[in-house]
Amino acid sequence: MEEWKFPPHYDDDYFPEGDSRYWFPERETMDPAARDARIVERIREVMHYAWDNAPFYRRKWEDAGVHPDQIRSLEDFEERVPVITKQDLRDAQEAAPPFGDYLCVHDSEIHHIHGTSGTTGRPTAFGIGRRDWKTIANNQARVMWGMGLRPGDMVFIASVFSLYMGSWGTLAGAERLGCKCFPFGAGAPGMTRRAVTWLKMMQPAAFYATPSYALRLAEVAQEEGIDPREFGLRIMFFSGEPGASIPGIRDRIADIFGARVVDSGTMAEITPWMNGAGSAETDGMLLWQDMVYGEVCDPHTQRRVPYGQQGTPVYTNLERTSQPMIRLLSGDLTHWVMEENPCGRTYPRLPRGIYGRIDDMFQVRGENVYPSEIHATLNRMEGYGGEHRIVITREGSMDELLIRLEPSKHVEARGADAVEEFRDRAKDDLERMLGFRVGIEMVASGTFPRTDFKAKRVIEDRDLYRSLREEAS
């Protein structure tokens, strides 16, 4: 069952022994150098497949002067094969609609169509073949087994069922794992209160959403007089935004729900997106390298950085046949390590998961600022109301940062002095973490809308900034 072939073939009747920590013990615990040798062979196979079936890749590699036969090591691959970008994919689909000339199967083999929202331009279509959908289900089931889920466990899927791949990939994996699947979804008015009712009634073993939605769910439950621990959740796994590997956010969710929090998710384009995921024993995100080969690279040179350093992930599908991604540049930010993992798996690890995007990071007074770090700091504070906004701009010749911040209802009920005391603590904690001056404006609890999906908390608007400063003074 641990045979590793391309194209892959999975036996849907296979399950490991119930007491096994691993789905595929050999693959998950093998010597990393031996695995890397196998990965090089697989990369060469995938590249030959793409060379023969995808004009997109053949053009790219001919322009770079590289042929699949020349890839004899990971160093060859990382130094000679050019990265591709999301813009490359959009351009290819515009020139060869609808799936681009990197589609490697006949159009009739497409089984699922997903994609990006297209809110900022042409959407990107994901054409996923029937074989690939089965592969995705088996891959996700394997990772979910590693999280501690078992056949018969109920999985409550609380994210939107739409073009978004997270919900569908979770459902496919849970079905393959033999779980009771509860595809609740989210997004419609009143859905969160209904989720509270269902969770208390059904007592699922596991819950999937974004970290922001879990915190929103807890807020609504408490408004209804229900302790979120009453849901009986054992495992909560997340994707879609940073947080589940950042201690301030991860620990707050774990404490509120009394559950194990697991981070997962890389890019929808390279699904199975759970190729980056923690386990029942290991925090952060493991890179499950025999599903999707992950590198962490310098954003400027696209060359792999040493373990212990920060960079942007670059991903290569090792089992996809319909739209394989080969050195897809993510634009995310992370750092990686190669060390002994508590679960015994011998994969590299992202200790803080994916903690931002290159284009989300901003600089204030020469310091790099990550919105996820501000969120984590606030979540560690007693009295935080669960939402804030980050307003950034330049006033005169200096960068400025203003945090608009909700106190908890409990703090608010104690009056203006309690709110002011919380404001001062928040200012001290944030300035200590950031290393520069921060403006804090307290707003009423419930000022900011809550989200069922990815939270957007950063505002860059000079006029708005000035008006807020005037109001605050």
Question: Is the pLDDT confidence value at 83 over 70?
Answer: yes
pLDDT band at residue 420 under the 50/70/90 scheme: very high
* DSSP-assigned beta bridge partners for residue 157: 208
Pick the CATH number of 362-472 from 3.40.50.1370, 3.40.50.920, 3.90.1200.10, 3.30.300.30: 3.30.300.30
Contact 279, 345 (CB under 8 A): yes
Average pLDDT value over all residues in the chain: 90
Which pLDDT does position 17 carry in this prediction? 93
Strand ranges (DSSP E) for 318-427?
Answer: 326-329, 332-335, 349-350, 356-357, 362-364, 367-369, 384-395, 398-407
Nearest to 320 by CA among 270, 376, 361: 270
Nearest to 253 by CA among 217, 293, 224, 281: 217
Alpha helices in 203-355 (DSSP H): 211-223, 247-257
Lowest mean pLDDT among 36-40, 228-232, 280-284, 359-363: 359-363
Maximum separation of any 2 CA atoms in the chain, in Å? 71
Give CATH superfamily name and number for 1-355: ANL, N-terminal domain (3.40.50.12780)
Report d(CA 406, CA 97) in Å as an integer: 46
Report d(CA 347, CA 289) in Å as an integer: 7
Nearest to 294 by CA among 346, 330, 323: 330
Lowest mean pLDDT among 9-23, 91-105, 207-221, 355-369: 355-369
Q: Torsions phi, psi of 450, nearest 5?
A: -90, 160
Mean pLDDT of 235-245: 91
Listed by start position, the domains of the chain span: 1-355, 362-472
Nearest to 447 by CA among 408, 393, 410: 408
Contact 302, 313 (CB under 8 A): no
pLDDT band at residue 468 under the 50/70/90 scheme: very low
Which pLDDT does position 118 carry in this prediction? 54
pLDDT digits (tens, 9 = 90+) for 169-223: 999 999 999 999 999 987 677 899 999 999 999 999 999 999 989 998 999 999 9
The residue ranking higher by pLDDT, 409 or 177, is 177
Tell me the residue length of the chain. 473
Contact 231, 222 (CB under 8 A): no
Which pLDDT does position 163 carry in this prediction? 87
Which pLDDT does position 458 carry in this prediction? 79
- For the four alpha carbons of 369, 371, 374 and 380, in that order, the dihedral sign comes to negative
Report d(CA 78, CA 91) in Å as an integer: 23
**pLDDT > 90: percent of the chain:** 71
DSSP symbols for 230-265: GG---EEEE-SSS-TTSHHHHHHHHHHHTSEEEEB-
For strand 310-317 and strand 292-297, is the pairing parallel, antiparallel, or unpaired?
Answer: antiparallel
Q: Torsions phi, psi of 182, nearest 5?
A: -120, 85
Q: Torsions phi, psi of 53, nearest 5?
A: -120, -10
Report d(CA 200, CA 28) in Å as an integer: 36
Which pLDDT does position 467 carry in this prediction? 46
Which pLDDT does position 369 carry in this prediction? 78
- Nearest-5° angle of CA 89, CA 95, CA 101? 60
Residue 324, CB half-sphere, CA atoms under 13 Å: how many?
Answer: 32
Which pLDDT does position 289 carry in this prediction? 98
pLDDT band at residue 469 under the 50/70/90 scheme: very low
